[in-house]
Structure 1
Amino acid sequence: MFHRILLAATLATGPAVAQEVPFHPFDEDLARVGQLLFYDPILSGNRNISCATCHHHDTFSGDALSLGIGEGGRGIGRKRTAGEGPDAIRKRVPRNAPALWNVGAKEFTTFFHDGRVSHSDAYETGYDSPAEEWLPQDMPTLLSVQALFPLTAQFEMAGNTGENEVIGAVQDRIDLGWPILAKRVRTIPAYGAPLAAAFDLASPEDVTIRHVAIALADFMNSEWRSFDSAYDLWLAGQGDLTPAQDRGRSLFFGRANCASCHSGPLFTDHDFHALALPPFGPGRTRRFDPVPRDVGRMAETDDLEDAYRFRTPSLRNVTLTGPWGHNGAYPTLVGIVRHHADPLAALDAWTPALSGLPKADWLAAIDFVIQSDTREMARVRAAVDIAPVALSDAEVADLVAFLHALEGGDSRYGRLGIPDAVPSGLEVER
């Protein structure tokens, strides 16, 4: 299964060529089960948060926050709060919730901002992941592997120590929480029966977390595909770009050098780059690291050359999925474009007021403490992979106009959408 689109092959004035975008196949019945599971809080330790909380249709598969509010929060999108009382969050999710556009494409070879889920033979599972050798066997796609890990993350969906049996099991070993969640699912007839039928199992008792993850992946794969933007129509000779979008296109593929990283039909090279984005929040620290920092790809590879490098995001529907940056440092597209044009000048000019952090007074002491660590800030400044490009205000505006040309049409609302209810009977967040 693939989408055929037209792609500008060289500079903006160069030829357009046909290019196929292969996707992994999906099962329609499984995708519909996956839709329900995606919106069902049954997959969280405390049954109070779903995958959709941070990847909702109303916020175009993101959450509209700089740093996510997971377990303990209330509401969705910009209205989400950090909770209150004993149920309040104990830590912000350290990175921006990535959008899910076209994640079923076969060209995705890593997931998460640091690429910690990838193809590998290191553990004899076919994948390198936080589960190492304890990953379920015979996972069919990288997307299905990725779907497993928010379920086991304490501050995302699993819950805090002592709150439920899932987090208790996960803290012993990462894979021990999955059987608990699988049992919750298979004992609900509206899940157990269709999953058993889809996988030709003897009975619902044979449903495991592997089957749950595949259903989630089939939903994500089929739900958020977007190739109906103004740019696609223009390439196909079926529409026009505005003058500003056309000027922005010339800059994007030309002097602004955006396409050196945001290349191909999905506008990403799937590689990792250091941009000196301003750090804040709790950081994604390693077990031995007490400093609230995020070293990006290096946390996965342990290679100093990868320090502060993060995966290049796709730019399809980028206009819909702010704030922007791996930590949502910029609330506007103008801001993130200007940062790319001159990373160090933008880093110096950035202020905490630009961050979109729901109020949590009990976390305020650490929200921006990393900014006062002069050595860490110096390391961030020293790791920059892109050269400055002088852009006028008008040119920045034209680049932003071109990014709007990458916004999908009807596809931006998804395919199946939000279910009216879920089989567990728990609340569907809206």
Structure 2
Amino acid sequence: MPRPLTADDFIQADPAQAKLGQLLFYDPILSGNKNIACSTCHHPDLGTADGLSLGIGEGGVGLGPKRTAGTGEDRIRKRIPRNAPALWNLGAKDLTVMFHDGRLSVADTYETGFNSPAEEWLPEGLANLLAAQAIFPLVAQFEMAGNPKENEVAGAVHKRIDYAWPILTDRVRHIPAYAEGFAGAFPHITKATDITIADIANALSAFMIFEWTSFDSPFDAYLAGDTDALSRQEKQGMSVFYGSGGCATCHAGPLMSDQGFHAIGLPPFGPGRTRRFDPMVRDVGHMGESDDLADAYAFRTPMLRNVELTAPYGHNGAYPTLAGIVKHHLNPQGKLDAWTPDMAALPEVPWLEQIDFMVWQDPRELARQRAAISIKPRAMSSGNQEAVVAFLKALTGTASVDGRLGIPAAVPSGLPVDVSQEKID
């Protein structure tokens, strides 16, 4: 059993910086075409994710499962290769690696404090790992930047990744409310031209930490000494999770993640992510970062607080339910063979249909993925499976899931703020 999480396990977020980050998080001004915000794929109404297996990024219309792929010249050219990760507890001091494949980590590889896709061009002044993560979606073509000929941000990225961040920074500098906000929230900023992309990232980080730090679930109350916080079934599931089920082998420690990488044989689909020189439609996982064959098809162990809110599950959202992903862990090979495409939450994109399941036409690639599975089958009664799912639901926070700042009514750029269709209806 892990020790309880406390506020001391998390980076302390400055409230003024968090308020500034809230506005930036919901503001499309940080996207190349000014049409998508961080909140589009990480919305609080959708558990800080988007409810899709693979996201619909730049060029899409709408929010969550009702988001469409756009039309005409503005339509999307590629699905986002992986499931949008939830944002809970990313301010944990012990967190050392991010992204499903671990391509961002705390390290001094490039003397920047981080090993990242920007290599030695990563900006200086990033306060923490989450701040470093925040700047990459802004310059990702299919996430927020757009295509090279559509806007100056995308064109700059096409030349070199760090050429785009000053353009986005300049947009923010020229909005008076942001200039005033940064001057009030950051002691080293006295005028608009002092603002850097690192300051923007640090504000975004402060907001995500302030808003989505969560350790007030029934399980957390139980760890803190309230033995009545869990039901009998939840306690049964906890016993299996930390005992015969072997779940805590990987979902270990207070954060419920070993921050390691494991190949569990999730059904492959979508465009995938692979090494730069690899033209195949597949996802090689951590090997794309480490270039080590031993890491092929291995993905980072996710943290589990609020996992009930973040369906679908897996690095590509292959399973729509907690019960489904639990069953997969018990029999990876069998569930891989039994999986069907209708289980994926993929909005229709007719012009990408051939790519969506192309990997299934390559028996050698499928054989490689099956051979890489690193977890062994386990027997578990249906009652224990139901108990484990009940325990996973007991990881859902109480007051923390509502956030502290919420969704702003408007943002300084004047661009529209994402609102869920359910609230519109």
- TM-score, scaled to structure 2: 0.96
Give yes or no for contact 2:314–2:325 (8 Å, CA) kept in 1. Answer: yes
Deviation by residue 1:253-298 (Cα, 9 ceiling, x = unmatched): 1100001111112211111111011110011133211111111101
Aligned to 1:209: 197
Deviation by residue 1:38-76 (Cα, 9 ceiling, x = unmatched): 000000000000000000011111111000110011111
1:425 aligned onto 2:397 = no
Give yes or no for contact 2:4–2:223 (8 Å, CA) kept in 1. Answer: no
Alignment size in residue pairs: 416
Whole-Å Cα distance in 2 between the matches of residues 18 and 329 of structure 1? 31
Deviation at 1:22, TM superposition (A): 1.6
1:240 corresponds, among 229, 239, 257, to: 229
2:266 corresponds, among 277, 281, 285, to: 277
Deviation at 1:18, TM superposition (A): 5.2
- Indicate the SS of the match to 2:25: helix
Give yes or no for contact 2:32–2:153 (8 Å, CA) kept in 1. Answer: yes
Once the two structures are superposed, the pairs formed by residues 27-426 of structure 1 within 5 Å of their partners are 27-199=14-186, 200-238=188-226, 239-426=228-415
Deviates more, 1:283-292 or 1:141-150: 283-292
Deviation at 1:318, TM superposition (A): 0.4
Give yes or no for contact 2:175–2:412 (8 Å, CA) kept in 1. Answer: yes
Deviates more, 1:206-215 or 1:385-394: 385-394
- Indicate the SS of the match to 2:282: coil
Whole-Å Cα distance in 1 between the matches of residues 49 and 258 of structure 2? 21
Whole-Å Cα distance in 2 between the matches of residues 235 and 136 of structure 1? 40
Give yes or no for contact 1:125–1:138 (8 Å, CA) kept in 2. Answer: no
Give yes or no for contact 1:60–1:413 (8 Å, CA) kept in 2. Answer: no
Give yes or no for contact 2:312–2:320 (8 Å, CA) kept in 1. Answer: yes
Whole-Å Cα distance in 2 between the matches of residues 244 and 274 of structure 1? 30
Whole-Å Cα distance in 1 between the matches of residues 404 and 244 of structure 2? 37
Whole-Å Cα distance in 1 between the matches of residues 402 and 369 of structure 2? 37
Deviates more, 1:197-206 or 1:57-66: 197-206
Whole-Å Cα distance in 2 between the matches of residues 19 and 422 of structure 1? 34
Whole-Å Cα distance in 2 between the matches of residues 95 and 216 of structure 1? 22
Deviation at 1:137, TM superposition (A): 1.4
Q: Which blocks of at least 5 consecutive residues in structure 1 are unaligned?
A: 1-7, 10-16
Give yes or no for contact 1:44–1:158 (8 Å, CA) kept in 2. Answer: yes
Deviates more, 1:20-29 or 1:348-357: 20-29
Aligned to 2:423: none
Aligned to 2:422: none
- Indicate the SS of the match to 2:164: helix
Identity among equivalent pairs (%):
60
Deviation at 1:228, TM superposition (A): 1.2
Give yes or no for contact 1:280–1:368 (8 Å, CA) kept in 2. Answer: yes
Letter in 1 for 2:141: Q
Deviation by residue 1:345-393 (Cα, 9 ceiling, x = unmatched): 1111111111110000000011001012111101110111211111122
Deviation by residue 1:232-252 (Cα, 9 ceiling, x = unmatched): 222334333222211111110
Whole-Å Cα distance in 2 between the matches of residues 324 and 378 of structure 1? 23
Deviates more, 1:77-86 or 1:307-316: 77-86
Give yes or no for contact 1:182–1:208 (8 Å, CA) kept in 2. Answer: yes
- Indicate the SS of the match to 2:313: coil
Deviation at 1:412, TM superposition (A): 1.1
Whole-Å Cα distance in 1 between the matches of residues 384 and 5 of structure 2? 29
Give yes or no for contact 2:274–2:285 (8 Å, CA) kept in 1. Answer: no
Letter in 2 for 1:390: A
- TM-score, scaled to structure 1: 0.95
Letter in 2 for 1:163: E
Whole-Å Cα distance in 1 between the matches of residues 66 and 172 of structure 2? 29
- Indicate the SS of the match to 1:327: coil
Deviates more, 1:19-28 or 1:272-281: 19-28
Letter in 2 for 1:154: Q
- Indicate the SS of the match to 1:401: helix
